Structure 1
Amino acid sequence: MDVTKDLIEEELDQGVLTLGLNAPETGNALDLAMTEALAGALERANAIPGLRCVLLRSTSGHFCTGGNVKDMESGTDLMQGSTAAVRDRLRLGLHRLTRALRALEVPSIAAINGAAVGAGFDITLMCDLRIAGENARFAESFLRLGLVSGIGGAWFLTRLVGPAKAMELTLTSEFFDASTALELGVVSRVVAADRLDEEARALAARIAAGPPIATRMATQLVRQSAELALPAALEQAAALQALLLNGAEHKELVRRFLSDRSAQR
């Protein structure tokens, strides 16, 4: 029996792949089944013809509550076995999510409602854009359980809010609300909770309506520029721009731009 069945609701509409975390009884906790279901869906995404954007959301009251604390207590699921066995399970299981999100060739958006804590918070940090409902709550909460982020959260958080604030959020494990997340730059916008899906889908549709080749290259350039020294970033920018300048997509958009401007005179 496939235990991952129905844990992720998948919908493809006009180039936007929406992945809905669908385990309300656990708050979409990242147990082994949820991890495999989400990682699998993300790993398949790049092969979808016409894919323009990936939207990650929840079908219930919380985005993702992180690891399953009941499994931690019982030492089952991801936590089962020796230290070496757990480490390998993290590397081969949960790290699939990290790698799959970073390997997406198109922009990714997290639509965050309710709790996004621990590894659930870290997943949102791996997305390119984050939009939150007013009811969203966040926490890098691992120290509350005597743990650290095991899937790369420290890497992403430090680059997003800076080393000092990342250290504070990590060492205090404090919860913060959507307005604070906006101030910190963790999310790019906050909307009414009952409008989150509508606003997130509209943002995804706007991105999907852009030129597909240039949008993919722009996504890669921004991701990589956060990690590269300036000389390497300049080389990357020049290489991508040269490809685009010689491409049919750019030439068609220039022709259309000039035609529209001429028609407005």
Structure 2
Amino acid sequence: MQEMELDEAPLVRYSVEEGVMTLTLDGAANGNALTVAMTEALSDVLENVNRRDDVHCLLLRSSSKHFCTGGNVKDMQSGKDLMDGGIEQVRERLRRSLHRITRALNELDVPSICAVNGAAVGAGCDLALMCDIRLAGTRAVFAESFLRLGLVSGIGGAWFLSRIVGPAKALELTLTSEFLDAEAAKRLGIVTSVYPDDALDREALALAQRIAGSPPLALRMAKKLVRESSQCTLSAALEMAANMQAILLCGSEHKQAVSGFLEQQARQKSLRTECGAA
């Protein structure tokens, strides 16, 4: 197992084991707020994932009681950190800082899982929405709460939320700043499963390991096919599916998977025969 804590930004830790990169937000002092330091540390790791052949699934989690509380309100009041400067400076900082996270997560070749163990509000909610699969602990809460502070989502949450819950519900959640508990989030499809808090990390890791155990090239193509197919015509989806399937059918990864499948079936048949004879 490889484990690293970034010297320049100890707010983020990650480890890689059995094809799963576990990326942990570790800024408990301010609720894992997306400060410049947290944003740069997270972006640096995420932007490197596609270059790593040993990573087949990403698991994003938190070590504290909150997943991510979004922007730091005290910094907003003082005009520091991301908020330092005038309109042009702040806009450019958003593009060059926070948007790095959005692009990196959206462009990941490998599947991503988010384990939400507490508050995921504002930009923290958006961060969770950027992942492919979201799981929650029982005390998790979600909110597009920007209007409470006279803001809108500056990190792309409107794009992700409307695709998950539909435009009308996305508008309702945005315009009311409603807080959703874990079960309400599940009913809306924001999360797929809710687990007891003490079981969340274990269940999330088990799912990540199961996904990471798939043939790597086919895994990446499967993710791309599903995501692209949701935003294109049937004709385009069929053409993409044919191209991907042809590549895979002619490749060694598929042939090895078929051989392994048939060998497993033969072993199971042999065991059934032996049990029957006994």
TM tier relative to shorter chain:
over 0.9
1: CA distance between counterparts of 2:263 and 2:39? 49
1:85 is matched with which residue? 89
The one-letter code of the counterpart of 2:158 is: A
Unaligned stretches of 5+ in structure 1?
none
Letter in 2 for 1:13: E
Q: Pick from 44, 66, 69: which aligns with 1:62?
A: 66
> 2: CA distance between counterparts of 1:19 and 1:256?
31
Q: Could you report, residue by residue, the CA deviation over 1:159-180 in whole angstroms, capped at 9, with x for unpaired residues?
A: 1111111111011000010001
- The Cα RMSD (Å) is 1.3
For 1:114 and 1:106, how far apart are their aligned partners in 2?
A: 25
Q: One-letter code of the match for 1:12?
A: V
1:190 paired residue number = 194
Moved over 6 A (4+): none
Name the residue aligned to 2:122. Answer: 118
What does the per-residue CA deviation read over 1:18-53, in whole Å, with 9 as the maximum and x for residues that have no partner? 110000010000010000000001011222232111
How many pairs align? Answer: 264
Amino acid at match of 1:104: L
TM-score scaled by structure 1? 0.96
Contact 1:53/1:207, CA 8 A, preserved across alignment = yes
Given that 1:4 and 1:36 are in contact with CA atoms closer than 8 Å, whether structure 2 keeps it comes out as: no
Deviation at 1:259, TM superposition (A): 3.1
Once the two structures are aligned, what percentage of the paired residues are identical?
A: 60
Q: Which has the larger radius of gyration?
A: 2
Q: Which amino acid aligns with 1:143?
A: L
1:143 is matched with 147
Instruction: After TM superposition, give the deviation of residue 130 of structure 1 in Å.
Output: 0.5
Query: Aligned equivalents of 2:174 and 2:233: distance in 1?
Result: 26
> Residue 170 in 1 paired to residue 174 in 2?
yes
Q: Is the 8 A contact 2:9 2:38 kept in 1?
A: no
Amino acid corresponding to residue 225 of structure 1 in structure 2? S
Aligned partners of 1:228 and 1:57: how far apart in 2? Answer: 31
AA aligned to 1:96 is R
Residues 4 and 34 in structure 1, CA contact (< 8 A), matched pair in contact too = no
Using the TM superposition, give the Cα deviation of residue 195 of structure 1 relative to its aligned residue in structure 2, in angstroms. Answer: 0.7
Shift of residue 3 of structure 1?
8.2
Which of 244, 249, 252 is 2:253 aligned to?
249
Distance 2:132 2:222 in 1: 12
TM-score, normalising length: structure 2: 0.92
SS of 2:60's equivalent in the other structure is strand
Matched position secondary structure for 1:51? coil
Amino acid aligned to 2:21: L
Residue type of the alignment partner of 1:82:
G
